[in-house]
Chains A and B, each alone.
Chain A
Amino acid sequence: MKINSLIKSIIVSGALFGAGFGALAQESSIEIVKQSMKPGAEPPTWVSVSGFTGETESLLRLDLYVQGFNFTNAENAQYQIIGSNSGNLQGRVTDRYNKNTLLSKAYSGASLLQQTHAFVDEFVRAIGRQGIAQTKIAFKHDTGANSEIHVADFDGFDGQAVTADNTIVAAPAWVPHKLALYYTSYKLGNPDIFYHDLSTGQRRVFSRYSGLNTAASVSGSGRVTMILSKGGSPDVYDCNADGSGLLRLTATRADESSPCWSPDGEWICYATKVNGRRILEKIRATGGTPERVSTSGVLSPSEPDWSPDGKWIAFTSQMGNFEICVVPANGGPVTELVSGEDPSWAPNSRTLVFTRREGNRRVLSLLDVPTKQYKDISRITGSNSQPSWAK
């Protein structure tokens, strides 16, 4: 482990300083290719944090913790993070093993919050991972008898209300690479799917057939899958971004739910019921015969979400309580992670946002899949559920 880390930090330093580490870099890139995520079975990356104060420090720690870092003193840390946040943010990251400085930067412009997000992203990228500190989530916010859609930074800052429909609004789904959402609103007296462009504030009705229109999910090319019941039972459909080309993919008496896309747009995975037992299936987005997605070992799977790297499907298992689980998309053992439901992958394919039930409240929480470290998004108050991570 230590050797791996050492090699990894050398490759990064080599990239930074440009010369002298060519041979080592080649060797270590082989190491990196070998690494594949082990859900719930990896140790955290130890870091020390000093010099930061107040909200900036707690934000920094939250953002790192849910990406698999944990905190120790400077002697035991693999990476030492030193800085200050008086006025603007300054930060320096040193690798303890080879004493190299990975990153040293003073930020200006935007807010301290955004500077902190940028710093966390640069550190995470400097050790070869994908940063998520500047991404957003959307979620259903309970307002009593009703609910509305809100969006916020993934760590809960900068929350904004998207809808003010004074009815039930649910199931938000981001359009990849756009500040736009699909969601289900009962505003017109029926569960209909709306498309809402957050950059202009304009929205339109996307799907308003008789019966149920819900659970939209958007592919990388903008095609939409959703649940409609116009054929006499809740079934999986998909169509183009303008609503044309509607295909009915399932035609069963069972109650299908929560379709999601494979990142290549080839497959749609969803929950259904066969002989009274809930299972996950996948079907080609152009139609065909459904294939079972094995979730052996756990019961009653629903709410699948396919990781952006294509390797994993996260889902909720219901065995008395709800459990967040992951399974390799091409088959393999299921790993049960933590209690909770409705997982949504971050763009880094390792962090999930999910919902925990706590008494009468539903709490949004962030989970680092390899380390199983999770933390509630305490800045998002009230009762919230159905999170969707922008990708």
Chain B
Amino acid sequence: MKAIRFVTLIALGTTLSFLGAGCQPQNLRKIPGQYAATPEVPPQGMIIPSAPPSESTSGLIELPTFPGHTNWNENAGQFSADTIHFAYDSSVVRSGDKSKVEDVANYLKANPQTAVRVEGNADERGTEEYNRSLGERRALAAREQLVGLGIESGRVDTLSYGEDKPVDPGHNEAAWRQNRRDDFILLTPPSK
């Protein structure tokens, strides 16, 4: 077993040094085939109905089946003043931020061909995958508000960056307060 693993590693090492002429950043070598065909289509036949929701899921709004708004144009500027912020480790939209969500809803109502992507973010005080889930929970909280304001659920995508996309890279409360946020990205249909 051990011998087999060792041989595999040697074989891998040999292959790598054989193919590894082009150096990558950090002087790390490239795994062979990195640029080989990478089929980038959703696996077929994967969408399977979820288990029936239990009581605790009341109020959850399912996301549309992929692909949503792939290839739509993104406009980060339209709602830049409507970014909302969250308390530490919370995904509750603050009452003071509800008018911003209403701004977004009003725009979507006035422009029925558009859609929006809510991007949820967390500060760095939390483990990375915990924060990725928390960011998604924050995006979904805003989505639930938009749907509550009459926007069709299929027009609201969510995306979590967790702690990976801070607006302020600092390590203090002032930075963290800015980073615990939802950004709203306007989506418009691709031009024909």
* A interface residues (Cβ-Cβ under 8 A, vs B): 110-111, 114, 118, 121, 131, 134, 136, 140-141, 143, 145, 147, 150-151, 158-164, 168, 170-171, 179, 184, 187-191, 198-212, 214-215, 227, 229-234, 239, 242-248, 251-258, 271, 278, 287, 302-303, 316, 318, 322, 341-342, 360, 381-382, 385-386
Contacts and interface: CB of A to CB of B under 8 A. Distances in A.
B140 A229 contact: yes
Given A114-B10, A233-B137, A211 B158 contact: yes
Given A161-B30, A231-B53, A247-B51, A303 B130 contact: yes
A143 B54 contact: no
Contacts of B61: 232
A322 B128 CA distance: 12
B56 interface: yes
A203 B41 CA distance: 11
Contacts of A382: 26
A158 B10 CA distance: 11
B59 interface: yes
Interface string B35-71: 0111111110111101101101101111111101010
A387 to B, nearest CB: 11
B165 interface: yes
Contact of A251 (B56, B158, B161): B56
Interface string B124-154: 0111111011101100100000000000000
Interface stretch (B1-9, B78-86, B96-104, B107-115): B1-9
Interface residues of B, number: 71
Contacts of B25: 143, 161
A248 B50 contact: yes
A373 B66 CA distance: 47
A209 B66 contact: yes
B94 interface: no
Given A227-B133, A248-B50, A253 B60 contact: yes
B137 to A, nearest CB: 4
Contacts of A163: 34
Contacts of A360: 169, 171
Interface of B: 2, 5-6, 8-10, 12-13, 16, 24-34, 36-43, 45-48, 50-51, 53-54, 56-57, 59-66, 68, 70, 91, 125-130, 132-134, 136-137, 140, 157-162, 164-165, 169, 171
23 contacts: A134-B5, A151-B31, A162-B34, A168-B161, A170-B129, A170-B164, A184-B132, A190-B159, A200-B36, A201-B34, A207-B46, A208-B42, A208-B66, A210-B64, A211-B159, A229-B160, A230-B62, A232-B60, A243-B46, A246-B46, A255-B130, A302-B130, A382-B26
B133 A212 contact: yes
Contact of B129 (A230, A232, A257): A257
Nearest 8 pairs between A and B by C-beta?
Answer: A201-B33, A232-B60, A210-B63, A255-B133, A234-B133, A257-B133, A255-B137, A243-B46
A179 B8 contact: yes
Given A232-B57, A233-B60, A205 B42 contact: yes
Interface on chain A toward B: helix, strand, loop, or mixed SS? loop
B164 to A, nearest CB: 5
Contacts of B137: 233-234, 254-255
B127 A342 contact: yes
B158 A229 contact: yes
Nearest to B13: A158
A161 B38 contact: no
A257 to B, nearest CB: 4
A252 B57 contact: yes
A242 B13 CA distance: 29
A356 to B, nearest CB: 13
A341 B9 CA distance: 29
Nearest to A287: B51
Contacts of A381: 26
A342 B128 contact: yes
Contacts of B171: 360
B74 to A, nearest CB: 9
Given A322-B127, A385-B128, 6 more contacts: A131-B2, A147-B164, A188-B40, A229-B140, A360-B171, A386-B129
A147 B162 CA distance: 13
Contact of A231 (B16, B42, B57): B57
Contacts of B38: 202-204
Contacts of A252: 54, 56-57
